[in-house]
Structure 1
Amino acid sequence: MGMDVIKSSGEYVSFSLEKLRSSLNRSGASKEIVSRILNTVRDELYQGISTKEIYNRAYALLKKEKRGYASKYKLKKAIYELGPTGFPFEKYIAALLKYSGYKTEVGQIMQGDCVAHEVDVVAYKKGFTTIAECKFHSEEGRNCNVKVPLYIASRFEDIKRLWDSKSHENVLTAGWVVTNTRFTKDALQFGNCIGLYLLSWDYPLNDGLKDRIDRLGLYPVTVSTLLTKREKQFLLTRDVVLCRDLIDDAFYLDHLGISQIRKEKILNEIKLICIHD
């Protein structure tokens, strides 16, 4: 429709109705609701509108329909809310791998041939060990440049040299680089060339973070529209990272002094989010 919008990076791009439709579909809303929201948003567009403003408008419309839809729609923002430090993001990635059949550990010290390294996530599965480094950005528009896979590749090679020189039950496979944003073109080119596994918000195609989260139904507690920022941070410090964790550990809501009526509303929202086809 020839409408230019501004991304969080400041870059101008053509507005894509299909991208907006795709993100709305992931919320679980019906085709009728999605079409209604698309029509409203499209009528309100103007040249130079920011993608953030479009997102906020679509989010507000979804919230009017049903909070569960709005919660799933705000997934990308919810991942940013795992900050400001990267540790909750590391725990979240470990949780995703755990529900993919891995046994995981967070913040492990692994000895390399030259020096010792603190590894964000170590994952074990079927005789293989995977080490994953997580690069978390708390601000939109900041992407992982080539320095990140360069640095992580050198750490991985140092660990692997010592690992391969000794006897282990597991084989140490390729290292992972995981980010909540995106990789630059050079970062992708180098990472793939050197043999790292790269995982970002939308990479690999159809198997990026957003795809894995939707597929597994593993939404972070930060997607809640009813919990305050302070309450979310409290839960994260107690290792309640996933919505499904809160269902099992609902007593933490009592620790926060939340009333029974509000507690029931929060748990109903969380259960709706966790409904997974």
Structure 2
Amino acid sequence: MNIDDIDIIKYSGEKVKFSLDKLRVSLKRTGADDTIINQILDKVRDELYQGISTKEIYNRAFALLKKDKRCFASKYKLKKALYELGPTGFPFEHFVSAVLNYSGYKTEVGKILQGKCVSHEIDVIAHKNSESTLIECKFHSEQGLNCNVKIPLYINSRYQDVKANWNKNSKDNAALTKGWVVTNTRFTKDALQYGSCCGLYLLSWDFPSNNGLKDRIDRLGLYPITVSTLLNQREKQFLLSRSIVLCRDLINDKFYLDHLGVSETRKKKILNEISQLCA
């Protein structure tokens, strides 16, 4: 059967045509060379069948990457790793804050601001160049769930309420200039259209083009601790509960691995894995 005729099933249940080029691009992003990528593509191509799920394709490619080099597999699982920042949205808010810190912002997380009508708990407030930005984070722990137009509609109304009262509470005369919505998934077409129309900045997994979350993370080397292929789920949750959200945080606070009772041999492997990611 021609691979162009093979239908695959996405997490959302949607049926789409398999694309070898899309798989190649996702593998290329890991830093793997063409020889490794072509070997994986050949093996995945041989195992394709009508109606295969994207999850099965991902699992196969991930296993082959991990067999070759763990840091490649860690980068490949970035999208899944963002979902693992749950089950609450709190670690994702800290992750967004950390990414902004490395982009030159000073941030505050979970602060309550008084609006003209009511008070609002804001996920992240970012300050840079005498300007302030209000950021709301919409976290989904399940793949296939996108942010529809109701999300930016709701957040824009909160932003406008806070902005109407901002001058009375502003620090150092910082102007409130922007409202953001950040999600670990994607926005629907209507959500993007509304965000553009009302002036909200929308940031998702792959939007804006070439400057979405995945691009910023790869560019800055700011991988969440959940990308690790060596830490188990319990260990990741322990670290997240102690605000160790980035891999580079663990490099600086490696004593947490001692608290977890990790052996010296395994500790060395974990630190080697995440050091390669942050390089």
Q: TM-score range by the shorter chain?
A: over 0.9
Tell me the residue number matched to 1:235.
Answer: 239
Which residue, out of 190, 213, 220, partners 2:217?
213
Aligned pairs for 1:147-162 (under 5 A) are: 147-162=150-165
Letter in 1 for 2:73: A
Matched, 1:203 2:196: no
Tell me the residue number matched to 2:67.
Answer: 64
Tell me the residue number matched to 2:258.
Answer: 254
Letter in 1 for 2:30: S
> Alpha carbon RMSD of aligned pairs, Å?
1.1
Tell me the residue number matched to 2:83.
Answer: 80
Q: What's the secondary structure of 1:173's corresponding residue? A: strand
Letter in 1 for 2:227: V
Note the C-alpha offset of 1:167.
6.4
Tell me the residue number matched to 1:44.
Answer: 47
Tell me the residue number matched to 2:116.
Answer: 113
Matched, 1:146 2:149: yes
Tell me the residue number matched to 1:130.
Answer: 133
Distance in 2, Cα, partners of 1:242 & 1:104: 16
Distance in 2, Cα, partners of 1:176 & 1:17: 34
Q: What's the secondary structure of 1:114's corresponding residue? A: coil
Distance in 2, Cα, partners of 1:141 & 1:238: 29
Q: Which moved more, 1:26-35 or 1:245-254?
A: 26-35
Matched, 1:244 2:248: yes
Distance in 2, Cα, partners of 1:242 & 1:259: 21
Matched, 1:92 2:95: yes
Residues 94-121 of structure 1: CA distance to partner in whole angstroms, max 9, x if unpaired? 0000000000110011110011100000
Which residue, out of 15, 22, 26, partners 2:25?
22
Distance in 2, Cα, partners of 1:151 & 1:6: 32
Note the C-alpha offset of 1:164.
4.3
Distance in 2, Cα, partners of 1:251 & 1:233: 16
Tell me the residue number matched to 2:271.
Answer: 267
Q: What's the secondary structure of 1:140's corresponding residue? A: coil
Letter in 2 for 1:9: S
Aligned in 2, Cα 1:42/1:155: closer, same or farther, shift over 3 Å?
Answer: same
Distance in 1, Cα, partners of 2:196 & 2:47: 41
Residues 180-215 of structure 1: CA distance to partner in whole angstroms, max 9, x if unpaired? 001111111111111100000111111111111111
Note the C-alpha offset of 1:17.
1.2
Note the C-alpha offset of 1:165.
6.1
Letter in 2 for 1:158: D
Which residue, out of 171, 190, 196, partners 1:192?
196
Note the C-alpha offset of 1:2.
2.2
Q: Which moved more, 1:111-120 or 1:166-175?
A: 166-175
Q: What's the secondary structure of 2:178's corresponding residue? A: coil
Note the C-alpha offset of 1:18.
1.4
Distance in 2, Cα, partners of 1:248 & 1:166: 35
Which residue, out of 176, 180, 187, partners 1:176?
180
Provide runs of 4+ in structure 1 moved above 2 Å: 164-168
- The sequence identity of aligned pairs, in percent, is 70
Q: Give structure 1 stretches of 5+ with no counterpart.
A: none
Residues 150-175 of structure 1: CA distance to partner in whole angstroms, max 9, x if unpaired? 11000000000111467651110120
Q: Give structure 2 stretches of 5+ with no counterpart.
A: none
Distance in 2, Cα, partners of 1:40 & 1:129: 50
Note the C-alpha offset of 1:227.
0.4
Q: What's the secondary structure of 1:129's corresponding residue? A: strand
Note the C-alpha offset of 1:44.
1.1
Note the C-alpha offset of 1:273.
1.4
Residues 70-99 of structure 1: CA distance to partner in whole angstroms, max 9, x if unpaired? 111000110000000000000000000000
Q: What's the secondary structure of 1:183's corresponding residue? A: coil
